[in-house]
Structure 1
Amino acid sequence: MNEISYGLLDKTMLHRLQENWHQGGIGVIALQLLQGTPVSVVEVLDEWVMEQEGLIWHSTMGDDRFYFLACGLGASKELELRLQVGIDELKMKFCKAFEANRIANVKELDGKPDFAVGHAVSYPSAVNGRSIEASMYEAIKEAYGMVVRFRSGERDEQQEQEQQEQQQTQQQQETYFSNVPSYVTIGSLAKTVPIFAPGSLVSDLSRMFESNPHIQGAVVVQEGRPIGLVMKENMNQLLAGQFGLPLYWNRAIARIMDKEALVVDAELPVEQVVQLAMARDISRLYHLVLITRGDKFVGAASVRSILECMTQLRTEEARTANPLTGLPGNASIQREMQRRIDAGRPFTIIYADLDYFKWFNDCFGFSQGDALIRFLASVLQEVAQVGGKRDDFIGHIGGDDFIMLTDRLESEKLCRLLLARFDSGVRSYYGSAHVPSVVDRSGVAVQQEGVTLSLSLLSWNGTMPLTTAIISQAAARVKKQAKGIRGSAYVASDVFGEQLGEGMT
C-alpha cells in the first residue's frame, strides 16, 4: 500500500474505501505524535505500515495520521480483532523505538517522546442508509476523539507509568473543569494567523509556508475584512500541477484564494460553529474557520481546536449529567438557555415538577421513587420526539424537577400531551395499592388519587432583554400557580408576568 493522501476524504480515497466498505466495514486508526519524533521512530511507523495487509489507505495532516483497514472476510469481529492487533503491534514497536532512541541520544531528547492512538469502526449496516462520506466522517471523528481524550489526561492504566503522573493529570483535569464556562463562544478559540493583502504574490506566500512548517493557512484581508483563505495543502497541490509554477508563482494571491471560506462572528457559540463547519463541502472540511468581530478579522480557529473544545464540553456534560436519568445537569442547562437567549429567537421553557412526591417516597420507598423519576424523564423524551423536532432540549435540574426548552409554536399542546402521557402511566407505579388520597408536606390529607404533574410554561418573544436569572424567578412564580390547581395541570405565562392560559387533564 503505497498511496498516501495529504488530506482526508478526497474522492480517490473515498472510491478506494467504498470498494471495501460494503464487504464488511472499515476500521480507522488515528495517530498523533505528541512531541518531536526521531527519524528512527518514524521509520518504525513506516515498517508497521508495510506489515499491515489489510491497510488500504493512509492520510497525513501535520502531526496527525489516519490509517484505514478493511476486513476481507466481511466479519465485524474479525475487523475489530485486526484493528486491535494492529494497534497493539504499533504501540509495542513505538515503545521499543522510543526507548532505544533515548539510550542512544539522551542529550537530544527533552523528556520522553510520546504518541496517542484512537480507533473506530464503520459498518454499512449500522449507518441507516447514510453515505460513505458521512459514515467515514463519524468514524474519523470518533477515533480522533480518543486521541483528544488521551491528550486531556484520560489515559488507560498501561499508558500511565507512574502514580505521580496520574495524580498530576487528575489535578489538571479538575482545574480545567472547575473553570469551564457555561457558555463558550468561537472567539475564545481565535488564534493569530498570517494575513496577506490580495495583491501579494503567491511566491511570497509559498516562502512563508516553507519557512514556517507548522502554519497551515493564511488569510487574505482587505481593509480589515477577511475576503479569502489560502490553505497550504491546496496551494501546494496547485503549484505541483504541470503548469502550476509558471501560471501562478508571480501572480497575486487573490487569483488562488478561496472566496467562500467560512467566516463567523466571534460571539457565535462553538456548538453552532461546529455545525456550520461540518456542513461544508468535503474539500473544505479541514480548512480554517475565520473569526470576525464587527466585520473586522480577529483570528482563525482550526477544526482540530474546535473539536477539542467540543470534546471537553461534552466530557463536562457527561461529568455533570444526572446519574439517575443521564440527562444534562445544571451546567448544561444554563449553557443551553444562554445559547438560545443569545440567538435572539423566541422560545419557550417548560418546567416539570411532581406533586406529592415526598408522600410517594414515604409510602412506596426510594427505589420506587427513583423509578417514578425515570418514568417522568422518559415521558419528556417521548413527547419531545412528537413532530420530529430535533432542537428540543431536556435537562434534569435535580430530584423530581425537569426542564424542556423548545421553539415550537404549539407549546401548550406539548404540555397537554405531557400531562396525558404521565397520568396514563403513573398508576402502574402503585402496584395493587388503592390510593384514594395523598398527604402534603404539612401532613394534611388531600383527596387525590396519587402523584400528579405540574408544568410551568414560560414564553419569550426574542426581543425583551432576558437573563437566566429572570427565567428562574418566573418559573418559581408560575410553578406555585400550577401547584395550586388540583390534579395534573399547566400554567402558561410569558417570562415577564403576563399569564397566557392554563389547562389540565
Structure 2
Amino acid sequence: MEEIGYGLLDRTLIEKITERWHHGGVGVILLHVERAGNGEMAATRQWMERERRLFGQYRMDHDHYFLLGRQREDVRLDRLIAQSATALRECLRAAQRSGQHDIAGYAIGSSAIYPSGVGRSAESMIYGALKEAMLAANEPLRHPVRGRNEDQDETVVAAQTPVGAAFQIGALAKQIPVFDVKTRVSEVGKLFEMNERVQGAVIVEGQRPVGLIMKEKLHQLLAGPFGIALYWNRPIEKIMDDHPLIVDAESSVESVSQLATARDHAKLYDVVVITRDERLLGAASIRSILESMTNLRTEEARTSNPLTGLPGNASIVREMQRRIVEGRPFAVLYADMDYFKWFNDRFGFSQGDALIRYCASVLQEETRLIAPDGSFVGHIGGDDFIVMADAGQGETLCRSVLRRFDDGVASFYGGADNLAVSDRSGNRVDQEGVSLSVSLVRWDGDRPVTPENLSQAAARLKKRAKSMRGSSYVGGGVFEMHRGEERSQRGASHGYESTL
C-alpha cells in the first residue's frame, strides 16, 4: 500500500484518489482511536495486509483514514465499504478477545467519494467525504475498552459524556499551549517535536488571543525550500493565522459548528479558540464539536414525538436555554386543547391522534407564515405544544393559530349534531366541541430568567385562558402575577386577555 501522508491534504493525495475514482468511486474508512500508542494500530495492520483494495492512508492526529479503490468487477461501492469496515471491526474485536493488545476506545466511520459532474472541485469532494466519515463515527466510547481492574476480573467500559452536557461551546474547551506573539518560531517548533499529542498553539497578545498555529501547517511551511532558514528565528506572529475562529464560551455548539464547517478547506480541521470575557479559556477540536452535534441530533431524534415528529422536551429546554443565552427578546406560546379527553372518549383514540396531528400542523404552518425566521415548534406531549418566536410576532401568531384551529376542527366531528361537552368528572360545561387555549409569555431580554420561570409563567397564564369560553389566549410577562387582570377583551369567536 502506498503511504499518502500525514496532516493537510496535499496534491499527491488528491491525484491518487482522482486516478482511482472513475471505476465507481473511492471508499473512505475512518478509524478514530482514543489515545495514541495503543493496540488498535497493531490490530489494524492485520486488516491492512488482507485488504487488497487499500491504496492509501491519511492520518490526522487520532483519526486514521483508509482509502479503498473499487475495481470494475467489484460489488457496488457501498457494499464494498460495508464489507471492509466489518472486516476491520472483526480484526479489532479478535485482538480484544485474544488479550494480546491493549485496545482502548475506538470508532469506525465510512463514506464514499464519487466523480461529480456538477462542477465541484476534487479537493472539495474529498474534504466532504472525510467530514462525512467523521460524522458517521459518532460512538467512540461505546466500544468496550479492554482492561483489567485490579480488584475485579471484568471488562472496563469507558464513561460516556452525557448528551446535552456540551450545549455551550465552553463545555468542550480543552487546554492548549499558549505563546506570545514575539515568541520565535523555533520555540514553537521544538514544543511540537517534543509533544506528539499537541496539534496546535494559540498566540496571544497580553491575555487576548490574536492568532493560531497548527502543527501540520508549521511543518509544511518549514519543509519547503529554505523554510527553516527563512522562518526558524522569526517571531511566530509572522506566520500565524491571524484570523482564527474565536468564539465566546457561551456560544451554542450548533452555531459554532456552522461557523467551523463553513471555513475554508485549508482551515477545516483547525481548532476553535474559546474565550470568556475576551480572555483565553481553551480550544475545541472540530471532531469534538461535530461529535457533540451528532450526539445532540441523536438525542433529538430519540426524544422527538412519534405522533407528530416534532421535537420533544429535551430539545425544547435546549432551545429555550439557547435563546436566553443569546439575550434577545422572544415570545413563548404554550398551546393546550380544551376537553380533549371528552373528544377521545366520544370519537375514539384514532380520531384523537388525528386531531393532535391537526393541531401540530396548524402551529407549524401558521408559524412558518407569520414567524418564518428562527422560530421553533415543539410537542411537549399529549395535546400540549410550545412555540418560540420573536417577541413582536407572538400576539399575531396567537390570533392566527386560534382562527385556523377553529376553522378546521369541525371536520373531526363527522357531522355529529350533539357536541355538548362534559369535563373529566362528567359534568356538563357551557361549550360545544374542542377549543384551544394558548398562553403567551414575553421575555424582554433584560431581566434574568430561567426555563423554569418561563414554564411557570406559561402554565399560570394558560390556566386563565382555559377559564374562558371557547378558543382563547392570555398574554403576560414572565414575572407578572396579577397586573392587568382587570383588562379583559373578547372577540366574537376568540377570547383573549392581554396583560402585556
Which bracket does the TM-score occupy, shorter chain normalised?
0.7 to 0.9
Aligned to 2:109: 118
Aligned to 2:354: 371
> Where does 1:294-443 land on structure 2 (aligned, <5 Å)?
294-386=277-369, 389=372, 391-407=374-390, 409-443=392-426
Instruction: Give me the identity figure in percent.
Output: 49
Give 1:206's match in structure 2, choosing from 180, 189, 206. 189
CA change 1:86–1:328 in 2 (3 A) is: same
Aligned equivalents of 2:9 and 2:404: distance in 1? 46
Worse overlay, 353-362 or 79-88: 79-88
Gaps of 5+ in 2: 146-153, 495-500
Is the Cα contact below 8 Å between 1:9 and 1:282 reproduced in 2? Answer: no
CA change 1:203–1:46 in 2 (3 A) is: farther
Worse overlay, 422-431 or 66-75: 66-75
Root-mean-square deviation (CA, aligned residues, Å) is: 4.0
**Cα deviation per residue 1:135-193 (whole Å; 9 max; x = unaligned)?**
766654453244231424599xxxxxxxx75xx75x956xx54xx66773222222221
Is the Cα contact below 8 Å between 1:263 and 1:292 reproduced in 2? Answer: yes
Is the Cα contact below 8 Å between 1:23 and 1:74 reproduced in 2? Answer: no
Aligned equivalents of 1:294 and 1:286: distance in 2? 25
Aligned to 1:32: 32
1:341 partner amino acid: I
Aligned equivalents of 1:116 and 1:89: distance in 2? 14
Give the C-alpha shift of residue 43 in structure 1.
Answer: 3.7
Is the Cα contact below 8 Å between 2:134 and 2:287 reproduced in 1? Answer: no
Give 1:44's match in structure 2, choosing from 33, 38, 46. 46
1:63 partner amino acid: H
Aligned to 2:436: 453
TM-score, normalised to structure 1, is: 0.80
Give 2:223's match in structure 1, choosing from 221, 224, 240. 240
Worse overlay, 303-312 or 337-346: 303-312
Determine helix, strand or coil for the equivalent of 2:233.
coil
Aligned equivalents of 2:210 and 2:460: distance in 1? 50
2:477 partner amino acid: D
Gaps of 5+ in 1: 156-163
| 1:60 maps onto 2:59 in alignment | yes
CA change 1:423–1:67 in 2 (3 A) is: farther
Give the C-alpha shift of residue 212 in structure 1.
Answer: 0.5
Give the C-alpha shift of residue 74 in structure 1.
Answer: 13
Give 2:134's match in structure 1, choosing from 125, 141, 144. 144
1:66 partner amino acid: Y
Aligned to 1:194: 177
TM-score, normalised to structure 2, is: 0.81
CA change 1:324–1:192 in 2 (3 A) is: same
Determine helix, strand or coil for the equivalent of 1:251.
coil
> Where does 1:155-234 land on structure 2 (aligned, <5 Å)?
172=159, 177=162, 184-234=167-217
| 1:80 maps onto 2:78 in alignment | yes
Is the Cα contact below 8 Å between 1:41 and 1:94 reproduced in 2? Answer: yes
Aligned to 1:161: none
Give the C-alpha shift of residue 194 in structure 1.
Answer: 1.2
**Cα deviation per residue 1:435-480 (whole Å; 9 max; x = unaligned)?**
4322233433345442122222222222233222331232123213
Aligned equivalents of 2:42 and 2:424: distance in 1? 73
Determine helix, strand or coil for the equivalent of 2:139.
helix
